[in-house]
Amino acid sequence: MTLASDSQSSLISDRYLLVMTATIIPAANAGVKRSDPQIRMEDYKRALRFWLSYPHVAAERILFLENSGADLGELRAIATNENPFGKAVEILSVPGNHIPEGTNYGYTEMQMLDEGLALSELRRETTHMIKVTGRLMFPTLGKALDKVRKPFELLVDCRKLGFPRRGFDANTQLFLCSHRFYDRVLRDSRNEMNSTDVRLLEHLIFRKVIPFKGQPGIYLRFPCNVEPVGYSGFKSKSYNSPSTTLIRGMRSVLRVIAPNYWY
């Protein structure tokens, strides 16, 4: 499978849209421990303030998508009153917080992207999207983006799964792609999720992107560690725990001494 380079788009400098996905009121079958809407709202408020103050072009334009019908007034007030760089911000509520039997919250995550991106005015002004889990912050995102040769189509971190799991997946807390890559490869892909081999979003994204391995503009590993700051929704555990810090250190070393090894 190939994705031929578009000569016209390569002449235009990349313009980024940071897309924050959010579910303030999780579905009953979401399976997340960090489920209190008030706690989640504070997470989203903290992350939005971070990206509004982030001094890199990666967050020059921000699209905040929420799919549980929660009141977004506090977030809109932050975007208006706590925006030191005067960034363009869209905050959209999109329907679709029902998780079909046999899938997980990744299904609604992709549905939110499909529908929210179609509604976004800022998307029309940009060439690439940077998808981030809306409760999390990634301080080294700009550093990684600066290291990637332009133009590019996809930047995602693929990983080898540790025991007892087997195989590989893709980290979906953060990935970057051109709008055309999303439309051609990822749009409507949630319909491929099932209760057996593609139950998780991480499995789905890996399956969709791995055929492009080795093609120009396709990066299946970040050039440096881009680690989240915040709390896991699944376990409600800080990403700065000692065990997580140890794994981060190992990954950082391996990116230097064995850049082609997925870990």
Q: In the predicted model, what is the mean pLDDT of residues 16-25?
A: 97
Query: pLDDT tens for residues 201-246?
Result: 999 999 999 999 999 999 999 999 999 999 998 888 888 877 666 6
The pair of three-digit structure tokens given for residue 233, joined into one six-digit string: 């929704």
Smallest CA-to-CA distance from 156 within 208, 120, 117, 121 is with 208
The pair of three-digit structure tokens given for residue 156, joined into one six-digit string: 């995602």
| Beta-strand relationship, 61-66 and 88-93 | parallel
Query: pLDDT tens for residues 120-166?
Result: 999 999 999 999 999 999 999 999 999 999 999 999 999 877 655 56
Q: Is the pLDDT of residue 175 over 80?
A: yes
Mean of the per-residue pLDDT values of the chain:
89
E strand map for the chain = 16-22, 61-66, 88-93, 128-133, 154-160, 168-178, 218-219
pTM of the model: 0.90
First CA to last CA across the chain, in angstroms?
25
Q: In the structure, what pLDDT confidence band is assigned to residue 260 with cuts at 50, 70 and 90?
A: low
Residue 197: CB atoms within 10 A of its CB come to 12
Q: Is the pLDDT of residue 6 over 50?
A: no
Write down the pLDDT at residue 245. Answer: 67
Determine the Cα–Cα distance for residues 161 and 168; give it in Å rounded to an integer. Answer: 5
Radius of gyration, CA atoms only, the chain: 18
Query: pLDDT tens for residues 97-127?
Result: 788 887 888 999 999 999 999 999 999 999 9
Smallest CA-to-CA distance from 203 within 81, 110, 117, 76 is with 110
Write down the pLDDT at residue 165. Answer: 58
Which amino acid type is present at position 142? G
Domains and CATH numbers, the chain: 9-257 (3.90.550)
- Of 8-17, 27-36, 146-155, which gets the smallest average pLDDT? 8-17
Write down the pLDDT at residue 29. Answer: 82
Smallest CA-to-CA distance from 229 within 132, 144, 137 is with 137
